[in-house]
Structures are given as C-alpha cells and as structure tokens.
Structure 1
Amino acid sequence: MEQCSETGNAPRGESLSLQRGLEILARLGLEAPLGVRDLARRCDLAPATVQRLVNTLAQGGWIEQDAATLRYRLGGALLAMADRVDLTDRMAEAARLALAPLAERGLNGYLGVLRGSQALYLVSVQSTGPVAIRSRPGDLAKLHTTAMGKTLLAGLTDAQAMLLLGGGPPRSLHRADPHRSGRGRGAAGGHPARGRFGRG
C-alpha cells in the first residue's frame, strides 16, 4: 500500500481520510503495537492527523490502545470481521461441493441469504444443462419472483413473510427482468403468499 502523505491527494472519486485510515490498519497489521508518532512517521502524516484517525478507529473497535504503553494494535471488530469472511468462504466452498452432483445431473444450484427484503446470491453453480445461470454471487433478487427467493420465504413464518412482501400484490415482472422465473407475465403474477400460506 502506498504511503498516504499529509499533502497528497486521493485519486479522483476516492476518500483521502479513508485511505489514510486503511494505511494505519495495514501498518498495525505488520508492526503493532505502534504509537501515534510511530504511525505518523511511517504514514508521513502529522501526529494530529493520526490522532484524529486512531480516535475514530478505536471508537469503532477497529484498533485498541494498550493502557500501559498507549500504543495501538488491531482491534476486536477487525478480527471478528476476518473470522466471518473465513466462515463465509468455507460455507461457500461447502455449498459448491454439495451442489456439484446436481450440476452433473443438469440442475443449476444456488446458495443465498436474506438481505432486507431481497435475496442475496452467495454461490451459483452452472450445470451441464441448457439453462444458463443469470444470477451471480453478489446479485440481489426479488423474493416473490425467483426460486431462491421463494425458498427463503418458505423458511419464514406467515407474519415474517408478509412483512417482507408488503401489503399489496408484489409487482409482476416484465420480460426484461434478469431474474424472471417462469415464462411470460402469468408465471409471476398474483400474490404467491396466498398460495403458500393458504390465506386470502
């Protein structure tokens, strides 16, 4: 990572303060513990600037200060995030292994989770069949119009699902929607919760 000097400018569209904060995290990942003046010298920043940055990072739990030496090290929030990333990677790999036999039989496979009122794709495994996968990891899709979304809805209570879907009939998809399920407008029309939960 390049040094983030006090007088330097961030590339167009980027945040200089964020760049400096990330530089401090990177330094602490290599050389912790470090004090404010140590960080200022390594990042070529004014001590006052570093003090403001470490105050913000420490408040969020990204770094921690040793009460005896007043030096800083990486904090629990950053370590917890790293652990979650590793868990996600291992979960995604396990999903790919589990979906591989289905792909060999011509069935596309997905792993996804709820993100607000949408489905977030984490894994997509293309089969040997003729149907091409349109959803990629990181894509968001509506719950009422995709197989992934309907599967996630099926694991909720009636009240939870209705809260996510809203009070009125969900909007039908048109032919240009990349997550269309079924053929034409009729397959996505109506309110799936009525069929799924048996209430009018």
Structure 2
Amino acid sequence: MAAADQPRSGSQAVERAIHLLNCFEGDDPELSISELAHLAGIPVSTAHRLAQALVRGRLLEQDQATDRYRVGHGLATLAAPALTRLGIDAAAPHLYALAAGIRITTSLSVVDAKEAVTMLQARPPVHFCAHQLPRLRQPLRSSASGRALLAHLPAAPHLATELDLVRRKGFAVEEFDGVDDPVRSIAVPVFGADKQVWGALSVQARSARLNDELVREILPAMRQIAVRIGGVVQNSSAPGIFTA
C-alpha cells in the first residue's frame, strides 16, 4: 500500500469503530459479534477485530461467559466531563426527586436533527414497569417530548396549529398502543437561562394509570422541576435547531 493511502485507511478504521460503538445506542445492552457485524454492515471478521481493539481501549467490555459485548467503563469515564459541562449531572438529582415524588420514570431529552434523544432517565424506587421507558430516540413530530421541543423551535408551517396548542397548554401529550396496553406520554419544555428551549422533561406510563386525573396532579411538579433543571443546564448544550 502506498504511503499516501495509509491515512485514508486509518481514517476508515476509526469511522468503522465509531459506527460500531453507535450500534449500542439502541435498546439492546449486549450484542453478539454477528449482531454487531449485521448492525454495522461489515464482515464478522472486521467487526471482531474492531471490537477487540475497543475492548483493549476499555470502550467496550466482553462477557466472558457469553462472549457478548457491551459498553465499557472507559466510555462512561470519557463521557463524564461532557455531562458535567452540559449540566446533565446537575440535573440528575432534580430528575430523581421528581421520579420518587410522582412514582413514574422521568426522562430528559434534547433535539438531535429530527429526533428527540433521551439524555438521562430516572427510575422511581417503587411502581416501576417497562411501560415507563420510552425509546431512546423518538421522532420530533410524533412524540410528546418532540412536540414539546418543536413548539418552541422553528418548524414547518403545516405544524403551526398543532404546536400552537402545545404552547398554549404548556405540555404535549402522545398516546400509542403498547404491546399489551395503550401507553401515554406527557412532556413539558425545559428552558435554559437564555430563555431558549433546551430540552423536554417527560413521563410515560400505561394510559390506564396516566389518566387525566393523574396528569393534572403531576403537571405542576413536572413544571417546577423543569424550571429547576433549566437553571443548571448550560446554554452551550442547547439542542440543534430543527429544520423541516
């Protein structure tokens, strides 16, 4: 291989390694090497070579009993300064206090392109169930968190009427069919110190539990915590602007 080709080859390896790490962003906490290769769209031998390099770098871990891979402690260590800078760690106590008070998992999301991405979740000490966990990435237009964000961002004209209602109510609602029961989600916007929307605070549960009465009961607490979180997050971490 010519010397001029080596930087391109090295760059490709780095890009593939990053792509491999991004495969763990979904709901599966552990993946086999064949699953990784399929998700990354690369040969199994290449996936194995990259995964082993990431294990040596502590960015991935491999379960010795199952040979499956998961995110390593090294990645969490690298992320810690960013979480501090963005104010996510300062927001965590408020999120956990809300979860304990209303006894429902609370989630904090920001905009990433055209999706609402969950940055932090806090589970309550009691009354937790899997229905309370939203997908880590949700479309802005069809999720409560997404519409709570969109209502305060530049958006497509055809969404104006719907988003105006969200702005006037101060919260967004989304209902969808779960595997066993319908699920309902409620979200309120989080504004930073610069008065610009920073993120969205949401809760999700079975519709039978998260009924209108409970929504009216927990909304004041959600809004109060959203204000407290807005006071500790950094404006520089504000989400990317949505473009239709």
Q: What TM-score range do you get, normalising by the shorter chain? A: 0.3 to 0.5
Give 1 or 2 for the bigger CA radius of gyration: 1
More strand by share: 2
Q: TM-score, normalised by structure 1?
A: 0.38
Higher relative contact order (CA 8 A, sep 6+): 2
